[in-house]
Chain A
């Protein structure tokens, strides 16, 4: 599905991403974990074309997408959300969804229901709470035609109820066989839902493997807790 090969990115003297390579498989949930500053969000921005890598290549569905502008990468099949939610605040919920895909009201309502967002279509997005905006952003990303869904810390910064709802949404998406690349800090949840976990530290891939192998790994524990 998606493969990164030797991606490097420096900001000034800081190597944010250092020879990073990994793959995601179809119909699987791949999670990126690691301490703050490990380069996870930079990787997301590089994949979605918001940041250009210094070197390395990215392939999506066997097509080289390295260095392509963000909108073309989006058209090639990537949907993503942001760590700090980005909804179109001054327009309605309906317009937010229509920008993603020109579709019927019935499909939009169904989509809102599937993400537990109980708000009328004509509500202005800025009137939604932060958690609801997060749900709207996920609905929008899901509605946009895509092959790979990338979620950057979907459960961060929202109240416990929305957090539970988000976990349910992700479990439902897993059931549907969606291909997802996830950044998440809630370890129990990551280990529960992921098919593969990639641990990053200081811009490098430290370990990758099945959740049950990762939790026992000494190096991973060191990265998180110190020696």
Chain B
């Protein structure tokens, strides 16, 4: 049997792999600077937690969580269809603050800052849960791989490189951007759902910006528009972040140093290797 610690680490890596590759679909392949990715992750987590706490079977809860996030993703994509680059980044970043405010203040639903404890396990045995998370991550990566190598994926990349040129080639760019967001947000919610059943607790800190920094750093370090890069980067950076546990003497330092590590890596990558390790696209 694998060591319990490694099981925990691989479970988290699988969940992050889903979150990062799904962000790569919108940000790397379609060129939509979506800083609200963790909102959909959090909504998936909350939806899945609330449903299972009310007796809904986990697979059903996870599916509903995905669909709910996807519907919101479609709505956001439809509203912001004409926004590009920095403007879209501002609107999607705004979503984060809306999510924090709602999750803190809609007390009858989320219990506010107290959070929701006792979210049921999907599988009691941690080893099998790790296998489940790795399998779902595998399926998710396979779907993304197939999608970006299809005609639809080609249109995504065309929109990223030049939306006007894609339009005059007869592509309904509005429709494709919505599809990209719908798929990306669905899988973000699946990742959130897997996390909440793993840690059995959720509170509004799930929307905190530090998670966004982690996810974006992993994505940019691996390289935009490279699925291989995203996956390798998740392994490398999370392992590095875990290594802090063994290097630092004081446990109180681990959290802040980890946060700082991701921020420093993000800045270094942007300065010296803006395409990331495996990326093909400039940030």
Contact = CB atoms under 8 A, between A and B. Distances in A.
Interface of A: 48-50, 69-71, 74-75, 78-80, 82, 86-91, 95, 98-100, 102, 124, 140, 144
Given A91-B158, A99-B158, A86 B280 contact: no
Nearest to A89: B161
Given A86-B162, A87-B162, A102-B151, A140 B157 contact: no
A99 B225 contact: no
Nearest to A150: B168
A80 B158 contact: no
A88 B151 contact: no
A100 B167 CA distance: 10
A86 B154 CA distance: 16
B164 interface: yes
A50 B171 CA distance: 13
A48 B166 CA distance: 12
B169 interface: yes
A213 B282 CA distance: 51
Given A90-B160, A91-B161, A99 B154 contact: yes
B280 A90 contact: yes
B256 interface: no
Contacts of A100: 169
A140 B161 contact: no
A195 to B, nearest CB: 24
A102 B172 CA distance: 16
Interface in B246-283: 280-282
B151 A74 contact: no
A166 B143 CA distance: 42
- Secondary structure of the B side of the interface? helix
B78 to A, nearest CB: 15
Contacts of A98: 151, 154
Most buried by A among B160, B161, B167, B170: B170
19 contacts: A50-B164, A50-B167, A70-B167, A71-B168, A71-B170, A74-B169, A74-B171, A80-B168, A82-B165, A86-B165, A87-B162, A88-B166, A89-B162, A95-B154, A99-B154, A99-B166, A99-B171, A100-B169, A102-B151
B173 interface: yes
Contacts of A78: 168
B154 A91 contact: yes
Nearest to B160: A90
A60 to B, nearest CB: 13
Contact of A88 (B165, B167, B168, B282): B165
B173 A71 contact: yes
B155 interface: yes
B275 to A, nearest CB: 10
Most buried by A among B154, B155, B161, B162: B161
A74 B162 contact: no
Given A79-B169, A88-B162, A90-B161, 20 more contacts: A48-B168, A70-B167, A71-B171, A71-B172, A74-B171, A75-B170, A78-B168, A80-B168, A82-B164, A82-B165, A87-B161, A87-B165, A88-B161, A89-B162, A91-B158, A95-B154, A98-B151, A99-B151, A100-B169, A124-B280
A144 B168 CA distance: 10
